[in-house]
Structure 1
Amino acid sequence: MKKLLGHSIIAHGLGLIIAMSYMLLTSPFDFGKLPNTVENSVLICLIGYLISANIIPRITRYLLVERKYYILPVMTTVYAVIMAVILLTRIDYSRPVLIHGFFISFLIFYGLSFFLKEKRKLKLAAINNFNIDDLQANKNIQVQALVDFDRLPSEVHDGLVVDLHKKLSVEQAKFVADCSINNIPVFHSESIREMVEGKVQTSHLSENAIGSLQPNPIYKGLKRVWESILIIATFPITIPVMLLTAILIKIENPGPAMFIQERIGQGGKPFRIFKFRSMTVRLQNAKSKFATEEQSRVTRVGKVIRKVRIDELPQFFNVLRGEMSLIGPRPEQESFVKQFEEEIPFYGYRHMVKPGITGWAQTVQGYADDTESTTEKLAHDLYYIKHLSFWLDMNIVIKTIKTMLTGFGAK
Structure 2
Amino acid sequence: MYKGFIVIKVFNHWFHWKTVLQISLDLLLPVACVAVAVLAIGKDGSASLDKAVIFAMIFALAMILLNGLLGFYRRVHSRTVAQSQARALVSLCLAVPLAYLLFRGLATQDMNEELILLSGLTALFGTMAYRLYLSHNNSSASVLSHRVLIFGAGAEAESVGAVLRKSDPDIQIMGFYPSPTDAETTVPPGALVSRERLLSDVAQDLKVNEIIVAVRERRGGVLPLRELLDCKLSGVRVLDLASYFERALGQIRLDSLRVGWLIFGEGFRQGPLRTLVKRVFDIVASLILLVLSLPIMLVTAILIVLEDGAPVLYRQERVGLNGRLFKVIKFRSMRNDAEHDGKPRWATQNDDRITRVGRVIRKLRIDELPQLFSVLVGEMSLVGPRPERPYFVDQLTRDIPFYAVRHSVKPGVTGWAQVNYHYGASVDDSLQKLQYDLYYVKNHSLFLDLVVLFETVGVVLTGKGAH
Q: Bin the TM-score by the shorter chain.
A: 0.7 to 0.9
- Aligned ranges 1:240-255 → 2 under 5 Å: 240-255=295-310
Question: Which residue number in structure 2 is paired with residue 187 of structure 1?
Answer: 239
Going from structure 1 to structure 2, the CA distance change for 1:37 and 1:377 (only over 3 Å counts) comes to: same
Instruction: Tell me if structure 1 keeps the 8 A contact 2:27–2:64.
Output: no
| 2:283–2:375 Cα contact (<8 Å) kept | yes
1:123 matched to 2:153? The reply is no
Q: Please show how residues 291-370 of structure 1 align to structure 2 within 5 Å.
A: 291-292=347-348, 295-370=351-426
Distance 1:278 1:99, change over 3 A: farther
In structure 2, distance between residues paired with 1:254 and 1:332: 26
C-alpha separation between the residues in 1 aligned to 2:26 and 2:330?
Answer: 49
Paired residue secondary structure (2:236): coil
Unaligned stretches of 5+ in structure 2? 9-16, 108-112, 176-192
Instruction: Output aligned runs, 1:150-161, within 5 Å.
Output: 151=201, 153=204, 155-161=206-212
1:144 to 156, 163, 174: 174
For 2:128, which of 89, 97, 110 is the aligned residue?
Answer: 110
- Given candidates 423, 439, 442, the residue that maps to 1:386 is 442
Matched, 1:133 2:161: yes
The partner residue of 1:237 within 274, 292, 299 is 292
Quote how far apart the aligned CAs of 1:286 are. Answer: 2.6
TM-score, with normalisation over the residues of structure 1? 0.75
Deviation at 1:348, TM superposition (A): 1.3
After superposition, give the CA deviation of every residue in 1:150-204 in whole Å (9 maximum; x if it has no partner): 6461544532222365469899443212123334321113432455554323244
% identical aligned pairs: 28
Does residue 344 of structure 2 align to residue 288 of structure 1?
yes
* Equivalent position of 1:200 in the other structure: 252
Residue-by-residue CA offset, 1:42-66 (whole Å, 9 max, x unaligned): 2242477589989x99x99997579
What CA distance in whole angstroms lies between the structure 2 residues aligned with 1:40 and 1:378?
49
Report whether the alignment pairs 1:260 with 2:312.
Answer: no
Contact 1:19 1:104 in 2 (8 A): no
Distance 1:270 1:11 in 2: 42
Deviation by residue 1:370-403 (Cα, 9 ceiling, x = unmatched) = 3233223323322332233455444433443343
Counterpart of 2:229 (choices 149, 158, 177) is: 177
SS at match of 2:351: helix
Give, in whole Å, the separation in 1 of the partners of 2:311 and 2:457.
28
Q: Distance in 2 between matches of 1:53 and 1:281?
A: 43
Query: What is the alpha-carbon distance in structure 2 between the residues aligned to residue 284 and residue 3 of structure 1?
Result: 58
What is residue 397 of structure 1 aligned with on the other side? Answer: 453
Q: Which whole-Å CA distance do the structure 1 matches of 2:23 and 2:451 have between them? A: 24
Unaligned runs of 5+ in 1: none
Q: CA RMSD in A?
A: 4.8
Residue 181 of structure 2 corresponds to none
Give the Cα separation in 2 of the matches to 1:60 and 1:385: 27
Show the counterpart of 1:214: 268
Q: CA deviation at 1:326?
A: 2.1
Higher mean C-alpha displacement, 155-164 vs 246-255: 155-164
Q: Determine the structure 2 residue equivalent to 1:21.
A: 33
Aligned pair partner of 1:279 in 322, 330, 334 = 334
Distance in 2 of aligned mates of 1:368 and 1:233: 29
**Which secondary structure state, in structure 2, belongs to the residue aligned with residue 261 of structure 1?**
strand
Shift of 1:306: 1.1
Alpha-carbon deviation of 1:275?
0.8
Between 291-300 and 243-252, report the one with greater CA deviation. Answer: 291-300
Per the TM alignment, residue 265 of structure 1 is displaced from its structure 2 partner at its CA by 0.7
Aligned-residue offset at 1:143: 2.4
Q: Distance in 1 between matches of 2:432 and 2:222?
A: 37
Q: CA deviation at 1:11?
A: 11
Q: Would the alpha carbon gap of residues 171 and 311 (structure 1) be closer, same or farther in structure 2, given more than 3 Å must change?
A: closer
Q: Which amino acid aligns with 2:390?
A: E
Structure-2 separation of matches of 1:320 and 1:403: 24
Q: Is the 8 A contact 1:330 1:357 kept in 2?
A: yes
Residues 391 and 160 of structure 1: CA distance in aligned 2, closer, same or farther (over 3 Å): farther
Deviation at 1:336, TM superposition (A): 1.7
CA distance in 1, matches of 2:129, 2:418: 30
Whole-Å Cα distance in 2 between the matches of residues 314 and 266 of structure 1? 19
The CA deviation at 1:220 is 4.8
Please state whether the residue corresponding to 1:273 is helix, strand or coil: strand
After superposition, give the CA deviation of every residue in 1:93-120 in whole Å (9 maximum; x if it has no partner).
6497997686455445536656797565
Per-residue CA deviation, residues 261-283 of structure 1 (Å, 9 max, x unaligned), is 22111111111211111123237
Q: Equivalents in 1 of 2:350, 2:228: separation in Å?
A: 54
Q: 2:214 aligns with which of 154, 163, 176?
A: 163
Tell me the CA shift for residue 208 of structure 1: 2.8
CA gap of 1:199–1:40, structure 2 versus 1, over 3 A, is same
Q: 2:42 — aligned with what?
A: 31
Residues 18 and 331 (structure 1 numbering): CA distance in 2 closer, same or farther, change over 3 Å? closer
